[in-house]
């Protein structure tokens, strides 16, 4: 059935001509070793070649004409003899090359490690799936980032925080003994896009995940993932020494607490020798942390780092903090807490920073911390699951959002220091680097809750491999070709639809820099009127600040002055309403309703226009999809079509509710031609 389970690893038969030519180029397999990883490579190539070309590729010891020879120089004399340029490919890079051995054409996949070879095998298959030539290959690639990690916000009871794809795929109850095929397919999918780590449990974490019982379960998953180059990590609850360790405190300066964490690390590494480390949400939204004991984030992180260091583990310490007691603009709080700690974190600590300062909104300016902590490795945290972009039913390709943040120029230390360069270490010479994505994976047959949300998982991996090179459109094209069909009559319109989809959500939910206007709790649907929540910064009215004069949050010197947390050049741009991009205008400025916009319309007219444009774009997406019917199987076609019609309804809902509400303040007529809200 075409239920989406195969993701982008969907090796359906090519058309006859292609089958013959690709099949002739790749006829047989010569593994250069028999490690667990190379056995997985053999399995994947076998599956891919037989699926795509319809021919079986026999396994041979000597590479004959059309062989694929794969392995490392360490385990294969044949590969060693080729004297390939592998030295600068690191531990995870790969080389694909068409060579001749004894006069016969052979395709080589080589790396310094078996995992590099695995990545190369997936690249070869990707080239076939996207119908690129493979007869004269000379490709070398290595990841620019060390940690490419999914963050599962999965609870031990199998609920998933902000998950819209069913239950958690981790069936804790049946682990460690029962390991369904699903776990291995999860690992295949991740390895195919270069993901090399996974944090199994929610950052709002339960200390039980660190008990012996759960360490054994985690070890079982680690065993499944290991041949695929994927390490497991756990979210650590800071107060665990009290909850499961029987200590009266979790103070990071207390020797008993330090000893407890050291022993815990030893226990974990005894079961999982390649355990990755801990992810920590501390002193944020009610989670325990070092500040409960009068200590800093650095004190807390360094204590855990000390426990993990002897085993090679890392701490990913989150900067997503905003305190109830702090009256400052929420936008500023992470910088206020973390900037002063720059330089104080241990060597194996990364500070993990969301792309924007508020919370995964449809559009945010880049987080000011990226230009403010040169002496600390900063990890970028993206949200693959669409908490604020319509859950799984709204089609929103996030590649464009992530490309926008990666390309944003922090101007720190100088022009051109993009967020990509900050996180990949080139801006400040850090070697410990990483990118995290909050997973959108669940137990739904299609993994992600919707077919198009698979693209966001895919894009995350591809972008984490090399953030400076990340190109949302190329990635969308690859994904669409692999997941549906490489026929350009499908791919081109589908990619156009994807590329415009996130802007459409911005337009119908939070245009022109508006943000955090969603309904309470579940974050689905509009709630710009909400102003009765316990903490001021939870209320949408705190963010839009609409009144009779205008709308928007003044974050310049006359307001919260959050702009001053950016480098002066960036602050100057964001801080000037005539210069800042209109898509961020109301993020930084409180703007009069009659201000002239670049279109010549007033702000009020422009606002309504953007809402209308968002709704209209969804209509166009529906039309596009309808035209693509001939290229898509019925099951997936119908599912996507049904979701698009939900999205259309709800785009209207957002538009109508927002316009009806803001109009009370604007007190101006709807622009000519605009539909009355229902």
Q: How many residues does the chain have?
A: 678
- Among 243, 342, 344, 359, the active-site one is 359
Nearer to ligand GCW, 30 or 355 (CB): 355
277 DSSP β-pair partners: 233, 314
Question: Minimum distance between the CB of residue 241 and ligand GCW, rounded to whole angstroms?
Answer: 22
Task: Spell out the alpha helix ranges (H) of 339-445.
Answer: 399-407, 419-423
**Cβ-closest residue to ligand GCW?**
359
- Total chain residues near ligand GCW (CB under 6 A): 11
- Output 226 or 354, the one with its CB closest to ligand GCW: 354
Question: Using the rule CB under 6 A, is 278 a contact of ligand GCW?
Answer: no
Q: Which of 8, 225, 338, 360 binds ligand GCW (CB under 6 A)?
A: 360
Residue 108 or 334 with smaller CB distance to ligand GCW: 334
SS3 state at 628: coil
Contact positions with ligand GCW (CB under 6 A) in 192-221: 203-204
Which one, 364 or 387, has the nearer CB to ligand GCW? Answer: 387
3-class DSSP state of 264: helix
- Any idea what the Cα angle at residue 6 is, between residues 3 and 11, rounded to 5°? 120
DSSP 479-508: HHHHHT---HHHHHHHHHHHHHHHHHHHHH
Displacement of CA 60 from its chain's centroid (Å): 39
Beta strand extents in 387-524 (DSSP E only): 434-438
By beta-carbon proximity to ligand GCW, the closer residue of 169 and 480 is: 169
How big, in percent rounded to 5, are the helix, strand and coil portions of the chain? Answer: 45, 10, 45
Residue 153 interacting with ligand GCW (CB under 6 A): yes
3-state secondary structure 169-225: CCCCCCCCCCCCHHHHHHHHHHHHCCCCEEECCCCCCCHHHHCHHHHHHHHHHHHHH
Please say if 243 is a catalytic residue: no
Check if 306 is active-site: no
Q: Kindly state whether residue 281 participates in binding ligand GCW, applying the rule CB under 6 A.
A: yes
Q: Residue 414: CA atoms inside 13 Å, Cβ hemisphere, count?
A: 1
Least distance between ligand GCW and beta carbon 202 (Å): 6
Catalytic residue among 387, 478, 605, 639: 387
Site for ligand GCW contains 359 (CB under 6 A): yes
Nearer to ligand GCW, 334 or 563 (CB): 334
Determine if 530 is a binding residue for ligand GCW (CB under 6 A): no
Cβ 161 to ligand GCW shortest distance, Å: 5
Query: Considering only CA atoms, which of 138, 136, 133, 107 is closest in space to residue 41?
Result: 107
Residue 367 binds to ligand GCW (criterion: CB under 6 A): no
Nearer to ligand GCW, 162 or 655 (CB): 162
**Least distance in angstroms from the C-beta of 651 to ligand GCW:** 22
Task: Please report how close the Cβ of residue 318 comes to ligand GCW at its closest, in angstroms.
Answer: 7
161 binds ligand GCW (CB under 6 A): yes
Catalytic residue of the set 3, 34, 157, 285: 285
CB-CB contact of 137 with 98 (8 Å): yes
Q: Report residue 540 as tokens.
A: 């949408």
Supply the minimum distance, in Å, between the C-beta of residue 539 and ligand GCW.
14
**DSSP string across 500-556:** HHHHHHHHHHSGGG----BPTTT--SB-TT---SSSGGGSHHHHH---SSEES---S
Quick check: 317 binds ligand GCW (CB under 6 A)? no
Q: Six-digit token pair at 277? A: 């480390």
387 annotated active-site = yes
Q: Which residues bind ligand GCW (CB under 6 A)?
A: 153, 161-162, 203-204, 281, 285, 320, 359-360, 387
Query: What residues are labeled active site?
Result: 285, 359, 387
């Amino acid at each position: 059935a075409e239920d989406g389970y195969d993701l982008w690893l969907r090796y359906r038969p090519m058309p006859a001509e292609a089958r013959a030519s690709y099949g002739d180029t790749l006829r047989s397999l010569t593994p250069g070793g028999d490690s667990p990883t190379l056995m997985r490579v053999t399995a994947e190539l076998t599956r891919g070649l037989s699926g795509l070309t319809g021919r079986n590729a026999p396994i041979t010891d000597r590479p004959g004409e059309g062989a694929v020879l794969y392995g490392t120089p360490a385990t294969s004399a044949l590969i060693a003899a080729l004297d390939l340029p592998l030295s600068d490919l690191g531990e995870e890079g790969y080389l694909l090359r068409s060579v001749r051995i004894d006069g016969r054409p052979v395709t080589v996949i080589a790396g310094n490690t078996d995992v590099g070879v695995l990545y190369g095998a997936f690249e070869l298959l990707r080239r076939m799936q996207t119908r690129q030539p493979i007869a004269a290959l000379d490709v070398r690639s290595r990841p620019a980032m060390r940690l490419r990690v999914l963050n599962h916000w999965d609870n031990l009871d199998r609920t998933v925080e902000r998950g819209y794809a069913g239950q958690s795929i981790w069936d804790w109850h049946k682990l460690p003994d029962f390991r369904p095929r699903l776990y291995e397919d999860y690992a295949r999918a991740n390895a195919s896009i270069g993901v090399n780590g996974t944090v199994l449990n929610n950052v709002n974490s339960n200390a039980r995940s660190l008990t012996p019982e759960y360490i054994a379960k985690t070890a079982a998953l680690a065993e499944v993932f290991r041949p695929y180059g994927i390490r497991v990590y756990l979210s650590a609850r800071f107060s665990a020494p009290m909850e499961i360790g029987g200590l009266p405190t979790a103070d990071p300066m207390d020797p008993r607490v330090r000893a407890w964490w050291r022993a815990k690390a030893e226990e974990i590494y005894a079961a999982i020798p390649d355990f990755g480390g801990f992810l920590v949400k501390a002193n944020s939204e009610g989670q325990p942390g070092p500040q409960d004991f009068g200590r800093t984030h650095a004190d807390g992180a360094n204590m855990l780092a000390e426990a993990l260091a002897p085993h090679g583990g890392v701490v990913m310490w989150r900067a997503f903090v905003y305190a109830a007691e702090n009256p400052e603009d929420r936008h500023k709080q992470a910088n206020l807490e973390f900037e002063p700690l720059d330089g104080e974190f241990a060597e194996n600590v990364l500070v993990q920073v969301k792309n924007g300062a508020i919370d995964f909104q449809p559009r945010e300016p880049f987080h000011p911390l990226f230009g403010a902590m040169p002496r600390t490795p900063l990890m970028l945290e993206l949200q693959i699951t669409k908490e604020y972009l319509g859950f799984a039913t709204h089609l929103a390709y996030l590649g464009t959002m992530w490309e926008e943040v990666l390309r944003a120029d922090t101007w720190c230390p100088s022009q051109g220091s993009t967020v990509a360069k900050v996180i990949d270490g080139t801006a400040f010479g850090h070697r410990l680097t990483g990118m995290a994505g909050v997973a959108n994976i669940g137990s739904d047959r299609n993994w992600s809750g919707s077919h198009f949300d698979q693209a966001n998982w895919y894009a995350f991996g591809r972008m984490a491999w090399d953030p400076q090179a990340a190109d949302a459109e190329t990635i969308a094209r690859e994904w669409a070709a692999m997941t549906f069909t490489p026929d350009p009559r499908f791919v081109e319109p589908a990619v156009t639809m994807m590329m415009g989809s996130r802007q459409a959500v911005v337009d119908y939910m939070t245009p022109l820099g508006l943000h955090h206007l969603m309904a309470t709790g579940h974050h689905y649907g509009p709630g710009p009127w909400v102003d009765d929540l316990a903490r001021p910064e939870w209320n949408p009215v705190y963010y839009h600040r609409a009144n009779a004069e205008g709308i928007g949050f003044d974050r310049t010197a006359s307001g919260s002055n959050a702009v001053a947390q950016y480098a002066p050049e960036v602050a100057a741009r964001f801080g000037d309403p005539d210069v800042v991009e209109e898509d961020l205008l109301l993020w930084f400025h409180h703007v009069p309703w009659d201000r002239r916009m670049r279109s010549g319309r007033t702000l009020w007219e422009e606002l309504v226009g953007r809402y209308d444009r968002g709704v209209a774009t969804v209509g166009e997406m529906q039309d596009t999809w309808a035209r693509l019917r001939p290229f898509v199987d019925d099951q997936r076609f119908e599912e996507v079509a049904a979701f698009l019609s939900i999205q259309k309804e709800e785009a209207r809902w957002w538009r109508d509710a927002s316009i009806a509400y803001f109009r009370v303040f604007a007190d101006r007529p709807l622009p000519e031609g605009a539909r009355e809200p229902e």
